[in-house]
Chains A and B, each alone.
Chain A
Amino acid sequence: MADKIVLEIARYAPDRDEKPSFQSFEVPLRKEWVVLDALNYIKDRVDGTLTYRWSCRMGICGSCGMMVNGEPKLTCATFLSSYGKNATVRVEPLRYFPVVRDLVTALSDFLVKLQKVKPWLIRNDQPPLSQGEFLQTPEQLDLYKQFSMCINCTLCYAACPVVGLDEDFVGPAALALAQRYNLDSRDQGAAERLATLAHPDGIWGCTFVGECTRVCPKHVDPAGAIQQYKLTAALDWVKSFLLPRGHEDAPREAGHD
């Protein structure tokens, strides 16, 4: 008799339910199966209405993030066998996000916040193509590489209590990605990002709980990025305080009405 495992899955249909409820499914416990495999099994063979996001099933697209037994996890990277035989595995949508349906969360707020920090290379000048590509040494790459590993899976948002407490908090991934660009030697946009970052809803909302770093599947260490930027912003404040006229003006945002 093959081993089985029970999954307790949060179900929510906005046209039918006031709030989510749990439904249990029994699933074969295969040695190499991850939680995502169990969800796919259920959708294929038991209940086709189960709704969830997934894509690459190898931990790089960031789509399949869910709460598994109360922990934010990539379901494609969480083995069923780690929960033991005859265990019950509770699967819920990522915490602190509105739930659209079943295990699907609404990410539009996150995308707005991500866009606010301008996670792209900002240049004050545009060197001509004839000058060739920007060169970067391995040491310069090392400064920001860790923060570039983010796959936008938003597990860190599900882990951060400030995200849950304050709707306007920009959040770990967005702040880490801003820092990824601030530290990139090719970027000249640090001053432009300052207003969004050095703001009560930006880095100053972070109280260094550190949960974001703990749950990150790509070891980005957003908490570290934020604390580093706090120090940068603080030193920047000191400079602007001591040299109010000598402090460089931030470039005006192009096309801002």
Chain B
Amino acid sequence: MTDQTVLDQAARPEFHPRWYRKRLSTWWWLGEWHYLTFILRELTSISVAWFVVLTLFQLRALLHGPEAYARFAARLESPIMIAVNAVAFCFVTFHTITWFNLAPRAMPVRMGGKRVPEFLVAAPNFVLWIAVSALVAWLLLRTP
């Protein structure tokens, strides 16, 4: 008998008392606050994709000339688009915050043999985010 067969038998023996096994509901993630915040964090990816779609349409509008771009910009002013983008903005910001807070767990930083506390590893990322955002905003807003 190979090792694998022995292991399989140990896991699910042929003759054993009936075990009770509960099946997980499709709404398992509503059962707990931490599960819900996890799913919300995962759903931020939809807003990320939405931004890319928006940007692709924006690039296409730029390609087609000033009138096309003006129409694109006007469409963004409708209440529905504002609402959608406001929600999307909240989600992508949530992504940023959770991402920078979690990333240090994948890359523990050690200095002088001791582990650097996680918020010290996360903090420079936030600083970078603010700095780059300021740069992008400046590039877009300056009038040459």
**A: which residues have CB within 8 A of B?**
12, 14-15, 17, 19-20, 70, 96, 98-101, 106, 108-109, 111-112, 115-116, 138-139, 142, 161, 164-165, 207-211, 214, 221, 223-224, 227-228, 230-231, 256-257
Contact = CB atoms under 8 A, between A and B. Distances in A.
A227 B11 contact: no
Interface of B: 2-3, 7-8, 10-13, 17-21, 24, 28-29, 31-32, 34-35, 38, 42, 102, 105-108, 110, 113-115
B28 A161 contact: yes
10 contacts: A14-B17, A70-B31, A99-B20, A99-B21, A108-B10, A112-B7, A112-B11, A138-B113, A142-B113, A210-B34
Contacts of A17: 20
A100 B19 contact: yes
B106 A230 contact: yes
A164 B20 contact: no
B10 A111 contact: yes
A175 to B, nearest CB: 14
A224 B105 contact: yes
A185 to B, nearest CB: 14
A257 B1 CA distance: 10
Contacts of B107: 228, 231
Name the prevailing secondary structure of the B interface residues: mixed
Given A98-B21, A224-B105, 4 more contacts: A98-B19, A165-B28, A209-B38, A210-B102
B7 A115 contact: yes
Given A161-B28, A161-B35, A224-B108, A12 B20 contact: yes
Given A161-B35, A214-B34, A20 B108 contact: no
A100 B17 contact: yes
Contacts of A221: 105
Contacts of B31: 70
A96 B22 CA distance: 7
